[in-house]
Chain A
Amino acid sequence: MSFAKRFLFTATALGLAGLLWQVPQAKTVSPEDQKTIEQLELFAEAFSIVRDNYVEETSDNKLIEGAINGALEALDPHSSYAPKEDHAERQKTARREYGGLGIEVTMENELVKVNYVIPNGPADKQGLKRGDFITAVEGENVRGKSLNDAVEGMRGLAGDPINITVLSPDNTRREVVVIRETVSGRAVRHRVEDGIGYIRIETFNHPRLAKDSKAALEDLKAELGGSMKGLIIDVRSNPGGRVDQVVKVTGYFLDGGEVFSSRGREAEDTRRYHAAAGELLPNVPIVVLINSQSASAAEIIAGALQDRGRAMVVGRRSFGKGSVQSIMQMDDGGALRLTTERYFTPSGHSIQGLGIMPDVLVAGRPESKNTKDRFRESDLQNALANPEGLILEENFDEMDFPSEDWPDTEDYQLAKAIELVKSPEFSARLARKNTPLKR
């Protein structure tokens, strides 16, 4: 069959299908719509050319999937399409999630030290305690390994047992078999550091996050006898998450008023999100810690507390993901993830491509090219531009770097945040700090 004939054949079949589909009106077509129709026709034409002439048989699904992904990827890095099978596959892998031991660890004296044991987690069930050391994993010494390698060695599939050697502070050594479980980990952690309340929020992607945060804040309040001298909110490397959760959490620190707004293409698509009235910790000085991997919801809380003059922001310029994706179920069971809105801070600036610029720039590592170079949203291929056309650059002359011999295990940014929140000039500095957006 000649190409022309084959094309006619396909087109005919498509036309027939169109008939079956029954479209009532086609009379009033605006010039705008006419253009779209032409483009869709063009696509259908190209589709049938590929289908009939490619060197191998093609699959319609694959071709369309490639087309949809091609169009979406060109829009921005967060828009995508997941066909039905992908959906199911993802759920399957989710069920075979990596299991952990339910502990949080650090490295001390070349050994893995248990800092926290999740209640009722697998390690807790085997009697591991805070302060224990892990000296070997599956008979292999951890001495000399990096923390990452050591942790990697402890991960595996949920349900698989793991043999670890535990050294207790009283110098007793024992072998323990722990069955790995899927541990969601704590998204919120808190402790008192130097008389200052510290709350770390790992992600906003948890339906109980606001509740957990509130409990943590209440806990801190109780522990410090109601006289908290300062609070650090640590959202470093927090990739974001649920909008409802971040609005609630931000609301604990604001007495009503705007947290952020999201705006679609049309002006009337603007939605404003407000804090609930009543603050949890009125008058307590607050520092928000961010870094280049604080994204989306994490930038919302930092931006709101900064714009509203409620907190000083310390750290590195944040990631700059100021866009909202809507998930739309398609008729074939697949899911379309499409960027529909952008976030704006209360002062009306878009986070997209810019991020939040800290009031006090503090780096986590000593000065080097590597420390300065950070990967952010605007470095992504086809990243959505900032609607105001703004660009923010960190001023490295102003940035506070730890000295060369600063130990890796110590948190320089946190140390600086505590120093700032405790300083007698904190409120004066907060009052006279620069406009949030340094142009």
Chain B
Amino acid sequence: MKYILPTFGALTATALFAFSSLSTPVAAKETSSRSDTFRQLELFADVMARVRNEYVVDVEDSELIGDALNGMLQSLDPHSSYITAEQFKEMQVDTSGEYGGLGMEVTTESGVVKVVAPIDGGPAKEIGIKAGDYITEVDGQSILGVSLSEAVERMRGKPGEPITISIVRGDEDPMEFTMTREIIKPRNTKYEIKDGIGYLRIPQFNEKSAPSMIDAIAALKSDFGGRIPGLILDLRGNPGGLLDQSIKVSSAFLDGGEVVSTRGRKADDTQRYNAQKGELVKGVPLIVLIDGASASASEIVAGAVQDRGRGIVLGMTSFGKGSVQSVIPLRGGRDGALRMTTQRYYTPSGRSIQGTGITPDISVAAIPDDGNGNKRIRESDLPNSIQNELTSEETENSETEITIDFPPEGFNVEDDYQLQKAIALLKDGTYAQTLASLTQG
């Protein structure tokens, strides 16, 4: 088999050689590790040469390289992937997403597509798909082992088109759900008055989240005749979305100061995001509700409120997706783009959200104790997920200290135990004291 190499071997070297036109002198001691790198690239080129010359059918070079880039990125973490030139073009034209979808946030775990959270009002949530469900088939076709982007692609389609997906939930037999694809419209912030307390629900962070929340707060204020006695911000099941919206939402509760920072590999890559001056609900007691399906932008808001001592975070530990992906076009996008994790989110006190998530100040479960502490799948359970800087031991410890308030056996889940607890805390006069003790600790 060796005989093929000379011609293509030369080709390889030529390809890399082309870079030398960019040459500037390089330090001698760098060369050894650099030549290791070169050997790795050479190995890659050799394998590609073998495939090109000997594979049983003709393979398009560009496809091969695209798949290689995708493999490289996916080996890093589940949120990094390669975007083909066509996909990149689509992204440019159509950022609003006028395709029909099922309304859920998904990720992959060991090659299986997993539901992070179904979005309020979307077809998936309506039909009863739950956070933590595994999707094994789309329209009778297995999607085991396919990449996340491919799986998402297969679930998308024309609005109004039906789709059947197979779901595996726990030890139960696979279930089939048939639903109709819908255009997933950005959901606005909803508000109501519950038991004399203002209640805000942000189902996801899209471009309308902050403006509609500001409207909602104004409406609540007038409903209460000026002063809101207490406010609950519900971020449960909110899979995240736009970073700038999470900053704006946080600004409603903070009078300037840091909301979140993002940090890259190098210390000088740090970027800080601050709240705007002027708080909307100054002095109003605040509770933020989170659960295991609160991810990313939701965790930024909860983390900021918690770290800045502005309110109490109640519920269950959040998902722990604290990484930022950048889209880096290759040759202006003509050769596609790299979607790659480049930074991590840090709360104002400098905690990384990645992996650990936000631990609530008061842990309250939604469903009665099932013996597992109602463990939910979180980012740290994903294969290849980026580790938090804390050692696993430390993480473990902080996990075990938590005492969770479970609803009593037979509690009707519809009655929303977490919300009840939040309302009680705002009304029983212990809020200020509790908040003060948390801030001290």
Contact = CB atoms under 8 A, between A and B. Distances in A.
B63 to A, nearest CB: 7
A46 B338 contact: yes
B20 to A, nearest CB: 3
Given A17-B16, A43-B65, A45-B330, A53 B335 contact: no
A63 B41 CA distance: 10
A433 B19 CA distance: 65
A36 B11 contact: yes
Interface of A: 8-21, 23-26, 29, 33, 35-47, 49-51, 53-58, 60-75, 79, 81, 264-265, 323, 326, 328, 330-332, 334, 336, 338-342, 379, 381, 384
Contacts of B107: none
A332 B44 CA distance: 11
Contacts of B17: 15, 18-19, 23, 26
Contact of B19 (A12, A53, A71): A12
B343 A71 contact: no
B178 interface: no
A60 B68 contact: no
Interface centre among A26, A29, A53, A72 (most CB of B within 10 A): A53
A305 to B, nearest CB: 25
B302 to A, nearest CB: 22
B68 A68 contact: yes
A64 B16 contact: no
Given A40-B15, A46-B330, A339-B55, A18 B50 contact: no
A18 B35 CA distance: 9
Contacts of A328: 1, 50
Given A42-B65, A55-B264, A12 B24 contact: yes
A73 B72 CA distance: 12
Given A55-B344, A323-B56, A336-B50, A71 B24 contact: no
B40 A61 contact: yes
A50 B72 contact: yes
B69 A55 contact: no
B44 A36 contact: no
A33 B67 CA distance: 19
B375 interface: no
Given A37-B15, A54-B342, A328-B50, A67 B71 contact: yes
Contacts of A37: 11, 14-15, 18
A70 B57 contact: no
Contacts of A67: 44, 68-69, 71-72
Interface stretch (B94-102, B139-147, B201-209, B276-284): B139-147
A127 B31 CA distance: 66
B189 interface: no
A334 to B, nearest CB: 8
Contact of B61 (A39, A54, A338): A39
Interface in B27-63: 30-31, 34-48, 50-52, 54-59, 61-63
- Interface of chain B, helix or strand or loop or mixed? helix
Interface stretch (B73-81, B121-129, B410-418, B425-433): B73-81
Nearest to A74: B67
B301 to A, nearest CB: 22
A85 to B, nearest CB: 14
14 contacts: A9-B26, A13-B31, A17-B35, A18-B38, A23-B13, A39-B61, A39-B65, A43-B68, A50-B76, A53-B265, A66-B71, A68-B71, A79-B55, A338-B50
A25 B40 CA distance: 23
- Interface of chain A, helix or strand or loop or mixed? helix
A71 B65 CA distance: 7
A26 B330 CA distance: 26
Contacts of A73: 67, 71
Contacts of B43: 64, 68, 330-332, 334
A64 B68 CA distance: 9
Interface centre among B18, B56, B340 (most CB of A within 10 A): B56
Given A13-B26, A55-B341, A64-B41, A33 B20 contact: no
A18 to B, nearest CB: 4
Contacts of A49: 328, 338, 340
A130 B145 CA distance: 45
Contacts of A41: 15-16, 18-19
B26 A16 contact: yes
Question: What 3 A-B pairs are tightest by C-beta distance, nearest first?
Answer: A70-B71, A66-B75, A15-B20
Nearest to B45: A40
A60 B33 CA distance: 10
Interface centre among A21, A62, A323 (most CB of B within 10 A): A21
B12 interface: yes
A423 B59 CA distance: 51
B425 to A, nearest CB: 37
B47 A265 contact: no
B71 A340 contact: no
A193 B21 CA distance: 77
Contacts of B142: 379, 381
Given A49-B338, A328-B1, A338-B54, A55 B68 contact: no
B267 interface: no
Interface string B327-353: 010110001001011111000000000
B23 interface: yes
B288 interface: no
Nearest to B11: A33
B64 to A, nearest CB: 5
A71 B75 CA distance: 12
B93 interface: no
B363 interface: no
B71 A36 contact: no
Given A42-B331, A330-B46, 12 more contacts: A12-B23, A17-B16, A18-B13, A42-B65, A54-B340, A61-B40, A66-B76, A68-B43, A330-B43, A332-B39, A338-B51, A339-B55
